[in-house]
Structure 1
Amino acid sequence: MSTPSELLDQIGDIGTDHGRGGYSRHVFQPVELELREWFTAAATERGLTVSGDHNGNLWAWWGEPGPNALVTGSHLDSVPGGGAFDGPLGVASALAAVDELRASGFTPNRPLALVVFAEEEGGRFGVPCLGSRLLTGSIDADHARRLRDPDGVSLAEAAAYAGLDPAALGADERLLGNLGCFIELHVEQGRGLIDQSAAVGVASSILAHGRWRFRFTGEGNHAGATLLEDRKDPMLPAARFVLAAREAARAVPGARATVGRIVPNPGGTNVIASSADVWLDARASTAEDTRAMLAEIEAAAADAATSEGCTLNVSEESYSDTVYFDTGVRDELVRTLGDVPVLPTGAGHDAGILAARIPTGMLFVRNPTGISHAPEEFAERDDCTAGARALATVLREQAGG
């Protein structure tokens, strides 16, 4: 039997980012393909049958695939410079739970599968939960095929590189129809379990959230030869936009607005940019609050652009309404695990995408730093083991062997 921490140790050298710190593991790139090979080997060693669907998600089946399957797992990709636990802990815990169940002589009486979803973070193509969105048809396949990474590579080209048929990307109703329930274990991205002194918790909901690209277009020119009054510099409204986003979020209880990426074009030190792309991540407790906050931010951005003689274009790259996890699954998890905390999360997950189509639930494992999407993300080895045991208990109860 392996613990989740021992399994994570096996991939601890894969995808380390020596520039940013932490890990950079992006879908269909060599590092992420190596992680897929690791999962395939680990699942096969446990007697599971591994196959990939036509959207790049990996499935490891205990028994024959069929209706009413119970599914667990997470993802292996990361944000740029991300932590070691976001995603991989859920995959490692699923493998460790299988070890514990097999050691106890358990045999499921319904199909049981472990899944690794593709491009959960959106770190390469900008759309989070891309694998589960494609599976469920909640993103248009033609639009997805045209997505491009920062190097100009399209999703269609990257999928072909990974051995997939780009033309086959899209909703898979046959596979989806066989899924009865999805339980995702994840490191907590926040301080809820710290504050409640608990190693494991259950998710209640996910904040409404989305990503938008704001493109400010001005006039490129020489940094030394162009007087200030003659400039149309898109970096100025971009800077004012960042501040406006923070102020708009402050006005909405519990809201978040973040600018984590700015790309000026052409990007020269002694060049006035001709355009600046700025990406906004906005989240609030309700869809109405999220949209209202976005409208205020967009209005401020438009005013800032006009004042500098620039134009503004806003495009929505992804959006998810507030997700309330299936109450029956949530209550069953609490009943099975005892008096564990039930808490919301501000982070998006594949479980949130699947929730629109099948019953889903989530388990959280305590993160003593309270930090995620950064190298400082952490979970104690004992807490990881407790999480895997909780998952095994849930799977035993749900699969009723």
Structure 2
Amino acid sequence: MSTLADIADIGTDPRRGGYSRHVFDDAERQLREWFVEQAQRRGLGVRTDANTNIWAWWGEPGDDAVVTGSHLDSVPGGGAFDGPLGVTSALQAIDILRARGFHPQRPFAVVVFAEEEGGRFGVPCLGSKLLTGQIDADRARALRDVDGNTFAEAMVAFGADPRRSGRDDAALRRIGQFVELHVEQGKGLVHQERPIAVADSILGHGRWRFRFRGQGNHAGATLIDDRRDPMLPAAQLVLAARRTAEASAGGRATVGSIVPNPGGTNVIASAVDVYLDARAPRRAREMVDELSARAAECAAEEGCEVDIAEESFGDTVHFDTVLRDRIRGVLDGAPALASGAGHDAGILAAERPSAMLFVRNPTGISHAPEEHVEDDDCQKGSLALADVLAELAG
């Protein structure tokens, strides 16, 4: 908690509450500098890869390493623990292991992945997806933020060379096993009255943009019968998303952002972008297919059109069962939980044995200021991570 307190004032959002920390903005740069300073204080060798992920090595870098870490960016108005808890716990775990006199017998690193939340450029886990080649580098370089800046331009402003971004086989070879600690984003541990769990799986999930196009016009001078208002089918999509998710076993569908153009109170919009997040154990894409058909019907009824673009998608992830069970053995049979949230560990799982630890969140709330972890559970999380890393690296 003292390590988290070091960054408690960085990226606070006075309008939304909580924190807004997005890749390469002032807050995220400060967090990067803080991490580098913390790593160097511990004698770790720090390197930033071609995709702007930061690696801090205990000893010399090498292949088949034990790697832990998480991310430092946030959603708009996010909580204090989503991401940073995994980074600070990794640093604390190193302190614990050194206090025990432990010396790793395998290469060992802490990694901070870039743009995990997709809060600036819209694609979650961008740093790990570039590393593994799960997103085309040209597509990533062309991503734009709300101000029209491309990811490539942002990399240049940060001091990185976008031409070097993309799949990094040398970096992947260095990951023998990856373990990410994260605040639980739900109440599974609250219900089980346990402080620590091990991840079993991650729901398949993706993001889609529905662009409804109509006719911009005057809010007062245009009769109702003369309107082609894209806000109406947009609103109907929001309601349809809830109904479709309710009818799908384990499904979740959320509209978290609606962007009208031009956005004036006394203006009928000419276009409305609706951003959909859909998740399900088996049929996330099928849910979106249903919603796409409904969106087309609603748009036609209002004399509008709709274009649909898939911004990202990841199928259901099942973590390495051997590594999962080995970790559960170290942690006295910690429960295994499914995650409804995406993580960098889920991206790496397609390439390397990966696992996750969850730390109890008494509120069950995440991606909001009310996200919380008790001091005692923070300590238990760091101790559990240290025990796991000692087992894997020793």
1:95 is aligned to 2:96: no
1:127-169, Cα deviation, whole Å (9 max, x unpaired): 0000000000000000000000011111001111111001111
Determine the structure 2 residue equivalent to 1:261.
257
Count of matched residue pairs: 394
Amino acid at match of 1:293: M
CA shift for structure 1 position 30: 1.1
1:301 aligns with 2:304: no
1:338 matched residue in structure 2: 332
For the residues of structure 1 that align with 2:142 and 2:106, how far apart are their CA atoms?
A: 38
Query: In the alignment, which residue of structure 2 is the partner of 1:79?
Result: 75
- Unpaired runs of at least 5, structure 1: none
Q: Secondary structure at the match of 1:205?
A: strand
Indicate which of 117, 121, 124 corresponds to 2:120. 124
Distance (whole Å) between structure 2 residues aligned to residue 316 and residue 136 of structure 1: 20
Aligned counterpart, 2:39:
43
Partner of 1:209: 205
Q: Which residue number corresponds to residue 227 of structure 1?
A: 223
Match of 1:194 in 2: 190
**Counterpart position of 1:313:** 307
Tell me how far 1:388 sits from its aligned partner: 0.4
Tell me the CA shift for residue 48 of structure 1: 0.4
Residue matched to 1:388: 382
SS of aligned partner of 1:340 = coil
Identity among equivalent positions (%) equals 65
SS in 2 for 1:282: strand
Give the residue type in structure 1 aligned to 2:105.
N
What's the offset of the Cα at 1:339?
Answer: 2.1
What CA distance in whole angstroms lies between the structure 2 residues aligned with 1:40 and 1:270?
A: 49
The CA distance in 2 between the partners of 1:27 and 1:216, in whole Å, is: 29
Match of residue 245, structure 1, among 226, 231, 241: 241
CA distance in 1, matches of 2:296, 2:362: 41
Q: Quote the Cα distance in structure 2 between the aligned partners of 1:38 and 1:125.
A: 23
The reply on whether 1:362 has 2:356 as its aligned counterpart is yes
Residues 166-181 of structure 1 correspond to what in structure 2 (within 5 A)?
Answer: 166-181=162-177
Question: Is residue 12 of structure 1 aligned with residue 17 of structure 2?
Answer: no
1:268 Cα deviation after fit? 0.7
4+ aligned runs moved over 4 Å, structure 1: none
Letter in 1 for 2:160: L
Shift of 1:112: 0.3
Task: Summarize deviations over 1:189-220 as a string: whole Å, max 9, x none.
Answer: 00000000000000000000000000000000
Q: Which secondary structure state, in structure 1, belongs to the residue aligned with residue 179 of structure 2?
A: strand
Q: Say yes or no: does 1:347 pair with 2:337.
A: no
1:29 and 1:170 map into 2 onto residues whose CA distance is: 21
Match of residue 34, structure 1, among 8, 30, 34: 30
| Structure 2 residue identity aligned to 1:176 | L
Name which of 331, 352, 376 aligns with 2:370.
Answer: 376
| Higher mean C-alpha displacement, 174-183 vs 349-358 | 174-183
1: CA distance between counterparts of 2:108 and 2:213? 51
1:284 corresponds, among 275, 280, 283, to 280
Residue 51 of structure 2 aligns to a residue whose secondary structure is coil
Given the alignment, which residue of 49, 52, 55 partners 1:56? Answer: 52
Distance 1:244 1:123 in 2: 25
- AA partner of residue 306 (structure 2): L
Q: What is the alpha-carbon distance in structure 2 between the residues aligned to residue 178 and residue 399 of structure 1? A: 13
TM-score norm. by structure 2 comes to: 1.00
Paired AA for residue 321 in structure 1: D
The letter of the residue matching 2:170 is R
Query: Which ranges of structure 2 fall in alignment gaps of 5 or more residues?
Result: none
2:167 alignment partner, SS class: coil
Give 3-state SS (helix, strand or coil) of 2:303's partner: coil
In 2: Cα distance, 1:218 partner to 1:290 partner? 28
Structure 2 SS opposite 1:171: coil
Secondary structure, counterpart of 1:344 in structure 2:
strand
